[in-house]
Amino acid sequence: DEDLAEAVRVASAVAGQAQACVLRLVAEAERRALAPSLGGTSTATWLAGACRLRPTETPALVRLARRLEAHPPTAAALAAGAVDLDQARVVVRAVDALPVAVRGDVRERAEVWLLERAAAHDATDLANLGRAVLEVVDPEEADRLLGRQLDRSDSRDRTGRHLHILPVPGDP
């Protein structure tokens, strides 16, 4: 029984490695703009036909393939079989969703922190962790950003508020 369980884990890791390979090739096809010469209107439509995938899922694969180029730790984890495709997608989305003001080193720490958690969490749990990743990897920056958001919100709340006192009809 333990041998079977280990074989399933190994096969899952190999599947992740194969998916990483496909994504690297898709990113290269996208970079070269190969789809029109291969009969597709886009890389996503070409990929759907070439690999018999659902046309509804290929745009997300092409997006992930492009985004993984900007996320080497996640690409490496996928290639090593340490994360699956859904976990990789969640990590990339979480890091990309960080505010623009977040420094590059903080983004890298967030990505690594999420990848470390992927060993014990599925993609759904990882997405929940991703929503709070800034508070974990840089609580001071999270507080500063929250303070700015609250200041902007407070400023917006005050803008356009006026008190108008009108005479009451029939009052002398």
**Cα→Cα distances 100→53, 79, 156, Å:** 34, 28, 21
Tell whether the torsion through CA atoms of 45, 59, 85 and 78 is positive or negative: positive
Q: How far is 135 from 137, CA to CA, in rounded Å?
A: 6
What is the 3-state secondary structure of 23-54? HHHHHHHHHHCCHHHHCCCCHHHHHHHHHCCC
pTM: 0.79
| pLDDT value, residue 166 | 78
Report the alpha-carbon angle 66-103-107, nearest 5.
50
pLDDT tens string for the chain (172 positions)?
Answer: 899 999 998 998 899 899 999 999 999 999 999 999 988 899 999 999 999 999 999 999 999 999 999 999 999 999 998 999 999 999 999 999 999 889 999 999 999 999 999 999 999 999 999 999 999 998 888 888 888 878 777 666 666 666 777 778 877 6
| pLDDT value, residue 145 | 82
Buried b (16+ CB within 10 A) or exposed e, 21-32: eebbebbebbee
| pLDDT value, residue 158 | 65
Closest CA to 87 of 55, 112, 121: 121
Contact 20, 79 (CB under 8 A): yes
Contact 25, 47 (CB under 8 A): no
| pLDDT value, residue 160 | 64
